[in-house]
Amino acid sequence: MSIVVGVDAGGTRTVAVVAEGERHLARAEGPAGAVRPGRAMAAAGTIATAVRAALVQTGRVRGDVLVVGASGVGRDDERQALREALRMEALAETLVVTTDIEIALVAAFGNGPGIVLLAGTGSFAVGRTADGSVRRQGGYGWRMGDEGSAYAVGEAALRAVGRAEDGRGPATAMAEALRKQTRCASLNDLVRWSVAATPTEVAGLATAVLAASEAGDPIATTILAEAADGLVGLVAGVQHGFPAGDRVPVALAGGLLAQPTYRAAVHRALNRLPGVEIQDGSVDPVAGALELGRRAAAR
């Protein structure tokens, strides 16, 4: 039976799983493996490190099939660049490079119709109809999109703390929570931190917002509710591509949606959208990569 390696290379982390048939043999995680423009070699190095860490647990140095679903390879140029860079790593006999969107859809619905809503560092919604056509909303990065993502939540928290400091907004427990998380002694330190912070670092503030909401801070709770509405807007945009009157299944994926407090907020918001059915559980996109690998091995 073929040894298949599936990889989910996202904006927060890279996950690699080695499987033989349906049996998972090993799993390893590493830092973000998303492809940035002109940075395919760097992404390939991160992905290869995670793959080798998983393979070594099985006593192997190569797999038979490697399927990588990566963020940032929606265009042919980036996808080809990552494919060539990974080929040089010699990780498997057969290499398939596709998008994080494709593996998420396969993980959630196989070849069937439905919508996947993903919120981690970034966000997007993607749907496939019964005739196989695919429609996407979002996924444009932190400057042009990422509504309802961890980045959006973190940025909203920083803005709320700034308004509270000026008296333009209500006081919030997030001021202290953000200072603690960023190890800043004062608001001025937090300002300096925010100016230099990467999108991933800003997204990391979402955990402090979740904790503040769970502790009863109304501003944090409002931020989460508004972020959830942003995600519902993505789903509604995708839903327009489905036949009118259809009940469309919606599956949730991504690290932020694995957090119970935020997941509950998104459930409440989605329940106000007619014509959708929220699926139980969370989608693990790497399962879609493994399924694509099994299909490739069978050909």
Domain-located, residue 126: no
Given a contact cutoff of 8 angstroms between Cβ atoms, the answer to whether 285 and 103 are in contact is: yes
| Alpha carbons 47 and 291: distance in angstroms, whole number | 19
pLDDT of residue 153: 97
Domain-located, residue 292: yes
| Alpha carbons 83 and 145: distance in angstroms, whole number | 27
Domain-located, residue 81: yes
- What is the count of structural domains for the chain? 1
Q: How many CB atoms lie within 10 A of CB 258?
A: 15
| Alpha carbons 5 and 18: distance in angstroms, whole number | 4
Q: Residue 17 corresponds to which tokens in the numbers above?
A: 């799983």
**pLDDT tens, the chain, 299 aa long:** 899 999 999 877 899 999 999 999 999 999 988 888 888 999 999 999 999 999 999 999 999 999 999 988 878 888 999 999 999 999 999 999 998 888 989 999 998 999 999 998 888 899 999 988 888 888 777 788 789 999 999 999 999 999 999 999 999 999 999 999 999 999 999 999 999 999 889 999 999 999 999 999 999 999 999 999 999 999 999 999 898 888 999 999 888 998 999 999 999 999 999 999 998 877 889 999 999 999 999 88
| Alpha carbons 54 and 63: distance in angstroms, whole number | 10
pLDDT of residue 155: 96
- The residue length of the chain stands at 299
Domain-located, residue 138: no
pLDDT of residue 92: 95
Domain-located, residue 166: no
| Alpha carbons 49 and 119: distance in angstroms, whole number | 25
pTM of structure: 0.83
Which residue range is the domain that position 13 belongs to?
A: 3-105+286-298
CATH of the domain at 26: 3.30.420.40
Q: Residue 241 corresponds to which tokens in the numbers above?
A: 């591509």
Q: How many CB atoms lie within 10 A of CB 223?
A: 27
Given a contact cutoff of 8 angstroms between Cβ atoms, the answer to whether 253 and 117 are in contact is: yes
Domain-located, residue 290: yes
Domain-located, residue 169: no
Domain-located, residue 85: yes
Q: Print burial letters for 180-213: b (CB count within 10 Å at least 16), e (below 16).
A: ebbebeeeeebeebbeebebbebbbbbbbbbbbb
pLDDT of residue 252: 93
Q: Mind giving me the DSSP string for 139-188?
A: --HHHH--TTSHHHHHHHHHHHHHHHHHTSS---THHHHHHHHHT-SSHH
Given a contact cutoff of 8 angstroms between Cβ atoms, the answer to whether 50 and 278 are in contact is: no
pLDDT of residue 253: 87
Strands 134-138 and 123-128, sheet pairing: antiparallel
Q: Mind giving me the DSSP string for 43-64?
A: HHHHHHHHHHHHHHTTT-S-EE
Which residues partner with 30 through β-bridges?
Answer: 14
pLDDT of residue 276: 92
Given a contact cutoff of 8 angstroms between Cβ atoms, the answer to whether 68 and 79 are in contact is: no
| Alpha carbons 117 and 124: distance in angstroms, whole number | 6
Strands 123-128 and 114-119, sheet pairing: antiparallel
